[in-house]
Structure 1
């Protein structure tokens, strides 16, 4: 260590000095990270690392986003203690703009921030602060924030989401991204960040540029064990997103006058019937029929539904109350088969996949042999391993395999298969699904304050999501986003950054 004092540059970077401390520790110059940080602080004429941090923060350009986030951490860091009192609406409006509090009302915001009080007591780390934007880490949470452009610089966006287990698999160094279509530059950047932050083996992000133009970007591996690079045209199982296809088939039967939404479902069921004769088709579509889940959700080969549910499907739930599950859609698949006189797969292919040009989508009865990705899970040691190759046991619930481009086509054009009033009814809130503004339509999961509709899909080794902006979607095109991964993780943070960017 030199005895000569070092001067801080005009725009000092704490992140750079942290990396220097880690580099010097790795080189064996110091026994502990604390010793390395203390030495760097003293080289700059300061008594401690804390003093060095304070000096850098004092001379750094003002970040209004950082100031507001520090208010959040100090105000809500004790929210899990008995003596804490929540801020009232006036106090919150001094720190969050009206648009943000329109998306997330004050009482909900306080409740949500209170759930992460323990993490908010930790120090911010890996801070990348600009005057109006912030990206940082606090404990095991990623923090992203942006303020309005002028005084009083209230927060217009604040996101907190969990960071995934660190990946230590030497095989996962990602190859160059492969793309199809004109991928927006900001999407490529978001996908690159998410690949590492979510701890993924492979990631596909897809969407549209208006006018029906579809783009796809793929990053990582389709099969890490075999070194097979992930391509835009690889097929994924999208599991519960299949329910949207099932819902559109049922709505086409409604449009044709063969089924009515408020008919008792048993009026149309033959092979498998419901234990409760009063459950309606609308209640099945909105997960409010109280139908029990099938006993088997995954299998090596798709069985007959009656072998999974029995001839009479139990209805042990509370009818009329939303409870997300798979039983309702298993019975809708049987209803489609009974009404059309064909199998569910044949009806869904003829009534949805073919009219929308989804030529790379289908319902395999066993695991596909070609152009299919392999699911992965992350071990406690941070290594990837493959998961058993099983398909959905109930095609109407989770049997669809598709490409990202085909799924975007569905998101853009599903409403073209229905009369306008019926398509609007599908996106009309039918029931509350949580205490945070979430509602359910006919198949679609809705968040009306954010003008967002969509559906997730997840199974062993895979996650998927399809999101549309209903206010911007019509038969002539709109906005649609698709995320596909071959590791089961929560992809909501990625969805937020794609659909509701910071600026």
Structure 2
């Protein structure tokens, strides 16, 4: 143990000191982590690790956001114990503003915080605190928070999302970066931070401003084994974001008078029928038709749809209640094919991709090989390996391959393909979602109206994707769009939220 006194730097890092304690424990200098932390604290003239932590936090500006997050941590840290009593709504309203609780109702908030109780018992590290904002880490969670500008400084934003902590692959240590268009500084910063925090092989972040100009930043590798740098024009599978393409194609048929939203879908289906004759086109679009999902969604090639659903598609779910799934959109793809007398892929390309200039987007029948990224997965040893090279077996539910720029073009201009009234109807809530706090289902779109955002995620073997738009702006002819692609299956919605909903 060192007996020398040390001075803290001007901007001390608790994260660095904690890693230093672990390093000295691993080197055999101490028997326990507590002893190593205590020694480091005393070397810096403080009596305990807690005192050192408080001293470091006090060295920065007083942070109302930090104080409120500490309340959350202390209040919910014991939520997984029998004697714990949850806060009532009145108590929560003393710490969260009304707008936040309109987005995340008290019961949902309590459940969210309680689910991570064990993590909340650990120390905050990597703390970046300002008077009204906080960015930090606790255990394997990223914490982002903001408060009101005036007393009592209640939380107006609180985000907790998982980080990846076990990547040990040295090949991703120094990622290359490539850009196209005028990338905003904040987007470049989000891409750099997210690449490290989520443990990625490749990451693309893209967007468009109100005038439709597209920017793309790519970071990392398209194929790690071949040391192939990821470029802005590499193609990714969009997976379930494809459902938006399908929804707009159906709505174009509605606009042309060839399909009616509230007619039974079986009025238009010829090759495959629904077991429930009453399920409408609107219900299929809004995931309220109760259609069963395929047993599997991925394979080496796209089979005939009838071999996936059978000649009569089962409807075992409750009709009229939101239940996200792929089966309903499989039947919408067949509906498009039957009404247009062409394959779904051809009709969707003709009605959606081509009018929007999405020339680098298509629906392959097997895994494409040209200018596409390779999916990866992380082994238990923390090393990346190639993910299975499979594709969605239902083109209308998950078969689109595209570039970030093409998907931005879709997000920016999809409403131009429809009459204004029908575009507004697509963004009108059709059902309450059961998988997203404050979320609702439009026609294809997932909606969070209080945040004025709409979008759709996509994920499958080796890949993740996210599309978010501001519908209030898009429906009026302008707008903003954000796209995230990765070639590893991880949760990327928080990355896109940081772009679309920055903490003020």
Q: Same fold (TM over 0.5)?
A: yes
CA distance in 2, matches of 1:459, 1:214: 26
1:463 corresponds in structure 2 to 464
1:333 match: secondary structure: helix
Deviation of 1:89 after TM superposition, in Å, equals 3.2
CA distance in 1, matches of 2:467, 2:202: 17
Deviation of 1:10 after TM superposition, in Å, equals 6.5
CA distance in 1, matches of 2:336, 2:378: 38
CA distance in 1, matches of 2:401, 2:179: 20
Deviation of 1:222 after TM superposition, in Å, equals 0.5
2:377 corresponds in structure 1 to 377
1:169 corresponds in structure 2 to 169
The 1:35–1:84 alpha-carbon spacing in structure 2 relative to 1, beyond 3 Å, is closer
CA distance in 2, matches of 1:285, 1:10: 57
Q: Per-residue displacement from partner, 1:155-207 (whole Å, max 9, x unpaired)?
A: 22111111224211111124331111111111111111111111111110111
TM-score by length of 2: 0.94
1:135 match: secondary structure: strand
Deviation of 1:31 after TM superposition, in Å, equals 6.7
The 1:236–1:21 alpha-carbon spacing in structure 2 relative to 1, beyond 3 Å, is same
Counterpart mapping for 1:79-478 below 5 A: 79-434=79-434, 436-474=437-475, 476-478=477-479
Q: Per-residue displacement from partner, 1:463-489 (whole Å, max 9, x unpaired)?
A: 111111111213632011111111111
2:144 match: secondary structure: strand
Deviation of 1:91 after TM superposition, in Å, equals 2.5
Deviates more, 1:487-496 or 1:290-299: 290-299
1:220 match: secondary structure: strand
The 1:211–1:457 alpha-carbon spacing in structure 2 relative to 1, beyond 3 Å, is same
Deviation of 1:409 after TM superposition, in Å, equals 0.5
The 1:10–1:276 alpha-carbon spacing in structure 2 relative to 1, beyond 3 Å, is closer
The 1:408–1:59 alpha-carbon spacing in structure 2 relative to 1, beyond 3 Å, is closer
The 1:26–1:244 alpha-carbon spacing in structure 2 relative to 1, beyond 3 Å, is same
Q: Per-residue displacement from partner, 1:217-265 (whole Å, max 9, x unpaired)?
A: 1111101111111000000011111111011111111111111011111
Deviates more, 1:66-75 or 1:120-129: 120-129
1:489 corresponds in structure 2 to 490
Question: Do the aligned residues in 2 keep the contact of 1:393 with 1:399 (CA within 8 Å)?
Answer: yes
Deviation of 1:210 after TM superposition, in Å, equals 1.7
Deviates more, 1:151-160 or 1:228-237: 151-160
The 1:260–1:45 alpha-carbon spacing in structure 2 relative to 1, beyond 3 Å, is closer
Question: Do the aligned residues in 1 keep the contact of 2:457 with 2:465 (CA within 8 Å)?
Answer: yes
Q: Which runs of 5+ in 1 are unaligned?
A: none
The 1:24–1:351 alpha-carbon spacing in structure 2 relative to 1, beyond 3 Å, is same
CA distance in 2, matches of 1:66, 1:193: 21
Question: Do the aligned residues in 2 keep the contact of 1:463 with 1:491 (CA within 8 Å)?
Answer: yes
CA distance in 1, matches of 2:483, 2:330: 24
The 1:376–1:102 alpha-carbon spacing in structure 2 relative to 1, beyond 3 Å, is same
Deviation of 1:41 after TM superposition, in Å, equals 2.5
1:127 match: secondary structure: strand
Deviation of 1:493 after TM superposition, in Å, equals 1.7
TM-score by length of 1: 0.94
Q: Which runs of 5+ in 2 are unaligned?
A: none
Question: Do the aligned residues in 1 keep the contact of 2:206 with 2:217 (CA within 8 Å)?
Answer: yes
CA distance in 2, matches of 1:4, 1:307: 74
Q: Per-residue displacement from partner, 1:309-343 (whole Å, max 9, x unpaired)?
A: 22111222222221111111111111111111111
CA distance in 1, matches of 2:381, 2:227: 20
Deviation of 1:113 after TM superposition, in Å, equals 1.7
Question: Do the aligned residues in 1 keep the contact of 2:457 with 2:493 (CA within 8 Å)?
Answer: no
Q: Per-residue displacement from partner, 1:82-109 (whole Å, max 9, x unpaired)?
A: 4433333333232222332232233332
Question: Do the aligned residues in 1 keep the contact of 2:249 with 2:351 (CA within 8 Å)?
Answer: yes
Question: Do the aligned residues in 1 keep the contact of 2:209 with 2:481 (CA within 8 Å)?
Answer: no
The 1:111–1:27 alpha-carbon spacing in structure 2 relative to 1, beyond 3 Å, is closer
Question: Do the aligned residues in 1 keep the contact of 2:424 with 2:475 (CA within 8 Å)?
Answer: no
Q: Per-residue displacement from partner, 1:21-78 (whole Å, max 9, x unpaired)?
A: 4566677766765444333333333343333334444555322211111111111222
| CA-based RMSD | 2.1
Deviates more, 1:267-276 or 1:167-176: 167-176
The 1:173–1:258 alpha-carbon spacing in structure 2 relative to 1, beyond 3 Å, is same
